[in-house]
Amino acid sequence: MAVDRDQVMRALGGIAHPSGGDLVSRDMIRALTIDGGTVRFVIEAATPDEARALAPVQAEAEARLRALPGVDAVQVVMTAHGPAAKAPPPSLKIGQHPTPQQGGPQRISGIDRIIAVASGKGGVGKSTVASNLAVALARQGRKVGLLDADIYGPSQPKMMGVSKRPASPDGKIIEPLIAHGVTMMSIGLMLKEDEAVIWRGPMLMGALQQLLGQVAWGKLDVLIIDLPPGTGDVQLTLCQRTHLTGAIVVSTPQDVALLDARKALDMFQKLKTPVLGLIENMSTYICPNCGHEAHIFGHGGVAAEAAKLGLPFLGELPLALDVRVAGDSGTPIAATDSPLAEPYARLAQRLIAGGMG
């Protein structure tokens, strides 16, 4: 009775590969033919070194097949190919004109809440608040994403301690990175270090659309979006195209910062985006040497503004050297056991208690 292909493959499947698996499960059998009682096939190794290591396996294959009823002769050839040249992955281009969207602001699949962290002007610590809030929420058991939407001045890669370029196997879907328990993405990860973004408004809007819609965010309880300062194209695009849970406005207590914070609040009101509350950053400074408390930028101005506007005041955050050092080192202070992590933990708890985090 002549041997058949299934019998041969079963016999070869019982021969272990030195690195695990077997010849069949590792898909190493090629050009199998059965001519009467003669069985011929090729064992295809990945490299010459692997082929040399498989010499005992080749001998065992020949012996096992000769022992099968109906097999008169076995002819095995060992080949070795270098790794197949991989085709370059499809090119992912960030920054293009946005595609039309009908039906108003859209939800992002798998993301329960989206909170934008905004400021009327730069330099008030908005990005520091965004990164530490994201980490604080993650430490309290939430599945958190962080999107750095500050296209011109992305700082989250530095503050979160990541530099690897995200992968895009198909040139469309972008695989985000994970840092300190937070799923994160930034345009800064797609650029060379110190490379400037010199785009007009439509390119900015297209980039934001890609970072929201083409990133594989997965299932998130909350996505924190670190907005650029001011009231420009990115803010307008986000509020008009994406269903936001709301915005948090960060300001220092000083009058000039509050002037611009009011403009940000007015923008969100006009765009019908709920303001979840205001945060006073750099509220107090404690001298590390003598313990004296100073109010370098004033104190209480943001709380007073929130009360005047009937908006929640979410808390005061200190001006502290360790917070700056932690951000520069790539480990947000909220990811540590420092006492300075506590204000961010309280901020996260307040958002969670209010159903916003």
Cα separation, 65 vs 256, in Å, equals: 86
Which pLDDT belongs to residue 85?
46
In the prediction, which pLDDT does 52 show? Answer: 85
How much is the pLDDT for 297?
76
Partner residues linked to 107 by β-bridges: none
What share of the chain has pLDDT > 70, as a percent?
94
Angle, helices 301-309/255-270, rounded to nearest 10 degrees: 30
Mean pLDDT of 296-313: 87
Gap between the Cα atoms of 315 and 301, Å rounded: 12
pLDDT of residue 26: 85
- pLDDT tens, residue by residue, 89-140: 556 667 666 676 777 788 899 999 999 999 988 889 999 999 999 999 999 9
Beta-strand ranges (E) seen in 67-201 are 73-80, 111-118, 144-148, 177-179, 182-186
Q: For residues 45-61, b (16+ Cβ closer than 10 Å) or e, as one string?
A: beeeebbeebeebbebb
Per-residue confidence band for 5, with pLDDT thresholds at 50, 70 and 90: confident
pTM of the model: 0.71
Please write the tens of the pLDDT for every residue from 233-275: 889 889 988 999 999 999 988 877 888 899 999 999 999 999 9
Within 13 Å of residue 183, how many CA atoms lie on the same side as its CB?
19
- Selected residue with higher pLDDT from 296 and 348: 348
Q: What is the C-alpha separation between 265 and 184, in angstroms, rounded?
A: 26
- Compute the average pLDDT of residues 137-151: 95
pLDDT of residue 192: 73
Please tell me the predicted confidence (pLDDT) of residue 84.
47
pLDDT confidence of residue 183: 96
Region 210-219 average pLDDT: 92
DSSP 22: B
pLDDT of residue 276: 95
Average pLDDT over residues 285-302: 77
Give Rg (Cα) of the chain: 30
List, in order of start, the domains of the chain with CATH numbers: 5-80 (3.30.300.130), 111-353 (3.40.50.300)
Q: What is the pLDDT of residue 87?
A: 47
Per-residue pLDDT tens over the stretch 21-37: 888 888 888 888 888 88
Sheet strand arrangement including 177-179: 177-179, 182-186, 144-148, 220-226, 111-118, 246-251, 275-280, 313-316
| Residues 265 and 250: beta-carbon distance below 8 Å | no
Residue 206 has pLDDT above 80, yes or no: yes
pLDDT average, residue stretch 157-178: 90
pLDDT for 247 equals 96
